[in-house]
Amino acid sequence: MSSADIINLNESNQFHGKRKSLSDAEKRFERFLESLLLFGLILSKEETEVVESVLSRKLQGFDGGVLPDDPQRRRAAKIKAFKMRKHLEERISTRVEYTDLGKGGYIAHEEETRELYVDELRLLALRTLEHLNSIYLEMSVLEAATTDSDFDYRHYHPENKNEEKKELRLEQVPGKKTPIDQIGFKKVSLRDWPNVTIYVCGGVP
């Protein structure tokens, strides 16, 4: 294998490794969203619909609950998601400050603690959707970068290398050239080298 082959093979391995990492992360993020749906009473109705759409793959390249080919709605959804994230972050920060046991003599009620946890889960859901969108976009870029030119490397298996056989056409030297219809095919060893001219007829040299 040439140095170019090794470089291309390494690039192929990196491609597969990156795609596998993205796929693993995608599955974990999706399982988290599925868990939120199973618990219920955590996400709002709108958030639930968005999550269900993403998990059912009705939306590809999700970003804020709209299809990516609608720039205006896409931008509006981004702004809405950003505002919601900031709102939740500020509310969580305030709740944490006042629900710490013993701080300022204030002891949080059970319902207030529950609301804090719900807000934290909603914030995590928003961030998860953002991460999933980034993963979908990156995976689409990787797929687009996969061309027929790297087919051999994406399907290369070292253990199968010997399945391709070399076929060498030999012409004896010196002497009269052998007629083409009498030329045979056989493997050649180094000891044959001084007496033959080698023509590659098939396989990988």
Q: Taking every pair of C-alpha atoms in the chain, what is the biggest distance, in angstroms?
A: 109
Output the pTM of the full model: 0.57
Residues 93 and 189 in one domain: no
* Residue 171 and residue 90 in one domain: no
Please tell me whether residues 86 and 45 are part of one structural domain: yes
Examine residue 15 and state whether it is found in any structural domain, yes or no. Answer: yes
Residue 159 falls inside a structural domain: no
Q: pLDDT tens digit string along 60-109?
A: 544 444 445 577 877 887 888 889 999 999 999 888 777 665 555 555 67
pLDDT tier at 112, thresholds 50, 70, 90: confident
Strands (E), 80-166: none
The whole-number average pLDDT for the span 197-205 is: 42
- Cα–Cα distance measured from residue 116 to residue 97, given in angstroms and rounded to the nearest whole number: 11
Same-domain status, 123 and 22 = yes
Enter the tokens of residue 4: 């170019």
The pLDDT value given to residue 71: 77
**188 and 107 within one domain:** no
178 domain-assigned: yes
- Name which of 16, 19, 4 is nearest 154 in CA terms: 16
Q: What distance in Å separates the CA atoms of residue 170 and residue 197, rounded to the nearest whole number?
A: 6
Q: Do 104 and 187 fall into the same domain? A: no
pLDDT at 115 exceeding the cut of 50:
yes
- The verdict on 76 and 176 lying in the same domain is no
The backbone torsions φ and ψ at residue 65, rounded to the nearest 5 degrees and listed phi first, read 90, 10
pLDDT of residue 97: 74
Q: Looking at the structure, do residues 9 and 100 belong to the same domain, yes or no?
A: yes
Condensed to tens digits (0 to 9), the pLDDT of residues 116-159 reads 899 999 999 999 988 888 888 888 888 787 654 454 444 444 45
* Alpha-carbon Rg for the chain in angstroms: 31
With a pLDDT cut of 90, the percent of the chain lying above it is: 13
Judging by beta carbons within 10 Å of its beta carbon (0-12, 13-18, 19+), is residue 161 exposed, middle or buried? exposed
User: How far is 154 from 141, CA to CA, in rounded Å?
Assistant: 17
Other beta carbons within 10 Å of 37:
15
pLDDT at 37: 92
Instruction: Report phi then psi at 185, rounded to 5.
Output: -125, 135
> Which residue range is the domain that position 192 belongs to?
164-202
Identify whether residues 125 and 198 lie together within a single domain: no
Q: Is there a single domain that holds both residue 168 and residue 101?
A: no
